[in-house]
Amino acid sequence: MEKPDKDPTIDDYIALYRAMDEDNILLVDVRTIEEYEAGHIPDGINFPLDKVEGDAIKVLPDKLRKIYLYCRSGNRSGKAADILSALGYQNVTNIGGIINYTGRKVSKKILIIGGAAGGATAAARLRRLNEFAEIIIIEKSGYVSYANCGLPYYIGGKIKDKKSLTLQTPESFKRRFNVEVRVNQEVLSIDRAQKKLTVKRLAEEKGSGETAFTPETYTETYDNLIIATGAYPNIPAIPGIDLAGIFSLRNMEDTFAMDEYIAQRKPLTALIAGAGATGLELAENLTLKGIKVTVLQGAGQILTYFDKDMAAVLHSHLKEKGVDIKLNTRLAAFEECGGEGQGSRLCAITQEGETYPCDMAVMALGVTPQSDLALAAGLEVGVKGAIVTDEHMRTSDEAIYAVGDVVQIKEFVTKQYANIALAGPANKQARVAADNIFAIPSSYKGSQSTSIIKVFDLTAATTGLNFTQAKAASYDCDYAVITSSSHASYYPGAESMTVKAVFERESGKILGAQIIGKEGVDKRIDIIATAIRASMSAYDLTELDLAYAPPYSSAKDPVNMIGYVMENILTGKVSQIHWEDLPDSAEGGVILDVRTPGEYEKGHIEGAINIPLDNLREVLDIKKELIPEGKTLYVHCQSGMRSYIACRILSQRGFDCVNIAGGYGFYAYSKHSR
């Protein structure tokens, strides 16, 4: 018998099935009922794999009949074939996976409201999963798949080509993914009962696939809907907020309007309301354009997702770069006022009665989930009005999914619900939603809010809970602080970084971390973020086998080092206290500064005794009277390492010794940022 040129494909088997009488061949889909209902080859039956062994005789009574088995990829149908063969079925064939069947047509129509990170990612994933579904993105702005995290850098001129901000256009999305994109169109309402949207065209520009006959307002039906509407910028309802020269920065149109204003008006001064990530990124980029920036922050610190002591490091750096930051200061109104520069100047008036003249202003006061459509449609909402979803990103309506800044999700560490407006989680959620629309088991387990920001010469990153958040969540916790080098100190270019890690006292489990430095911050925060995701403890960090060569790290990486410090605290090798607790605790004790005399003279705690670490043993042996006996010694150096060594020396000689976490460096930053 002549061997065929190639093995038969699922198309070949289905062609044979079509050519023969159904009585001769039975087509069996062994996927789950949800997958089967999402799309299957016409005719045949659904017989899920988990039921094959127990129900085979009942469902397939004729063991001599020819049976064609298929699933999604061919793996489950292969297992089913083995089970049936073992049960005595004579003519069983695994014909493979439906994903390889070119004749497959799944009649699903999926609409996506919003075409930024979540919406565009969902559309691309949906198309990769199914070539035949009808997928339409409806986007209110004039752009799709744009990099809104890069917008401040376009304002500053770091990103020069506006086209580079858009990863896809409606036309390229159509060519690459066969997805229809309708920009400048607003969804007015969701009719859940009829499964349809009411849509209004906002401009004449037409998205890919539209015709000139599209009316101004029309309806569009769906089988599944994904809401990816993102979030609104928070704009205070205060007098003068609509004056020219006041901006927000949330989309491409906002960016180009601000850029054009700067080019035409050439402002000398700018006021930014809000000291979150967007506010500080804009502060840097406007400063680099030669504009004097003042930042008003309602809270008592910048970047409130960092602990105050870590935020103080960035606050000090911003001051060095000429950015004026006013804490505990809230906007009350804007007025037009005359002054320098070209055109009218604005005057920002605060609730505290102060006036700040400026040539332009930016509202960077955070965001609120844009869930109006969902709320009007009766979908369940939760924290901050965000849409409630399950782990599959399904809303309270089983046909509707939601992803991105508009949804409520679980915070990974506490398992409490939160609204986390970050691009990384939005993209992951979009993939999960797309999978579940086509019955692929997939779940989103939550976000630990891992983020990173560039602030002039420094990089700051965080993951999990900060100490303030951990205490508020009722964890019995502590934190460790180190200052370490980005790579081997003897190799040129090493930069210091400050690492603060929060841990549970009893278990040593890592709850969160914050890192600030000039180099190597990103990879260290990513390692700790991975450790948190894996529920690792401080002890585990000490054992991580990380890459080392002098240009890249130290033999004891900063991640290992923070692990060692936490382990020392957990195992009682050292007691520690934090600066904020020192005034009450140090009464009756002695503050011992073990830095060099030169460091001491540059700045020290009032009343501190200075005994350099390298002289400590000599003092203990010869001049012991310099160290008061019977009193608790609160020991510090610049960063905490030398004071730890001093505490080990002192405690083994009978002294009651407590290490001050973070050292004088932490104290100085906190003091000078107030």
Mutual angle of helices 423-437 and 117-129, in 10-degree steps: 30
The secondary element (H helix, E strand) that includes residue 471 is helix 467-472
Terminus-to-terminus CA distance in the chain, angstroms?
90
Contact 425, 447 (CB under 8 A): yes
Contact 495, 484 (CB under 8 A): no
Count Cα neighbours of 595 within 13 Å in the Cβ-side half-sphere: 20
- CA distances for 517 relative to 259, 485, 665, angstroms: 30, 9, 14
Mutual angle of helices 308-320 and 663-672, in 10-degree steps: 70
Question: Measured between alpha carbons, how far is 189 from 204 in angstroms, rounded to an integer?
Answer: 21
Question: Measured between alpha carbons, how far is 378 from 380 in angstroms, rounded to an integer?
Answer: 6
Rg of the Cα atoms in the chain: 31
Helix, strand, coil percent content, the chain, rounded in steps of 5: 35, 25, 40
Question: Measured between alpha carbons, how far is 277 from 152 in angstroms, rounded to an integer?
Answer: 10
> Low-confidence residues of the chain, pLDDT below 50?
1-4, 205, 213, 341-342
Question: Measured between alpha carbons, how far is 634 from 654 in angstroms, rounded to an integer?
Answer: 14
Record the pTM: 0.83
Report which DSSP code applies to 667.
H
- Show Cβ contacts of residue 243 under 8 Å, excluding neighbours closer than 6 positions: 334, 336, 346
Given this model, what pLDDT does residue 566 score? 97
Given this model, what pLDDT does residue 532 score? 98
Largest interatomic CA distance in the chain: 105
Q: What does the angle CA 501 – CA 507 – CA 509 come to, to the nearest 5 degrees?
A: 35
Q: How many C-beta atoms lie closer than 10 Å to residue 519's C-beta?
A: 15
Give me the amino acid identity at 408: Q
Catalytic residue among 71, 347, 477, 637: 71
3 state SS of 302: coil
User: Residues 218, 222, 225, 229: what is their CA dihedral angle, to the nearest 10 degrees?
Assistant: -10
Length of the chain counted residue by residue: 674
Mutual angle of helices 117-129 and 170-177, in 10-degree steps: 20
Phi/psi class of residue 243: alpha, beta or left (left: φ > 0; alpha: ψ in -120 to 50)?
beta
Question: Measured between alpha carbons, how far is 500 from 596 in angstroms, rounded to an integer?
Answer: 25
> Nearest-CA neighbor of 295 among 265, 325, 316?
325
- Show Cβ contacts of residue 133 under 8 Å, excluding neighbours closer than 6 positions: 106, 108, 109, 110, 126, 127
| Residue 452 tokens, joined | 């990173």
Question: Measured between alpha carbons, how far is 146 from 142 in angstroms, rounded to an integer?
Answer: 10
Given this model, what pLDDT does residue 563 score? 98
Q: How many C-beta atoms lie closer than 10 Å to residue 164's C-beta?
A: 11
Domains by residue range for the chain, with CATH: 10-100 (3.40.250.10), 105-234+366-445 (3.50.50.60), 246-365 (3.50.50.60), 457-570 (3.50.50.60), 576-672 (3.40.250.10)
Q: What does the angle CA 336 – CA 292 – CA 148 come to, to the nearest 5 degrees?
A: 90
What's the 3-state SS for 354-372?
CEEEECEEEECCCEEECCH
Burial category of 28 from C-beta neighbours within 10 Å (exposed 0-12, middle 13-18, buried 19 and up): buried
25-29 and 331-337: which strand pairing? unpaired
> Nearest-CA neighbor of 286 among 330, 319, 323?
323
Contact 508, 567 (CB under 8 A): yes
DSSP 144-169: SSB-GGGHHHHHTTSS--GGGGBS--
Contact 181, 207 (CB under 8 A): yes
Report which DSSP code applies to 340.
S
| 477 catalytic residue (yes or no) | no
Q: How many C-beta atoms lie closer than 10 Å to residue 24's C-beta?
A: 11
User: Torsions phi, psi of 337, nearest 5?
Assistant: -150, 145
Give me the amino acid identity at 82: D
What's the 3-state SS for 279-297?
HHHHHHHHHHCCCEEEEEC
Give me the amino acid identity at 417: Y
Contact 187, 142 (CB under 8 A): no
Tokens 């043993």 correspond to what residue?
617
Give me the amino acid identity at 68: Y
DSSP 407-470: EEEEBTTT--EE----HHHHHHHHHHHHHHHTT-------B---EEEEETTEEEEEEE--HHHH
User: Torsions phi, psi of 394, nearest 5?
Assistant: -90, 135
3 state SS of 403: coil
> Nearest-CA neighbor of 336 among 271, 241, 234?
241
Given this model, what pLDDT does residue 1 score? 34
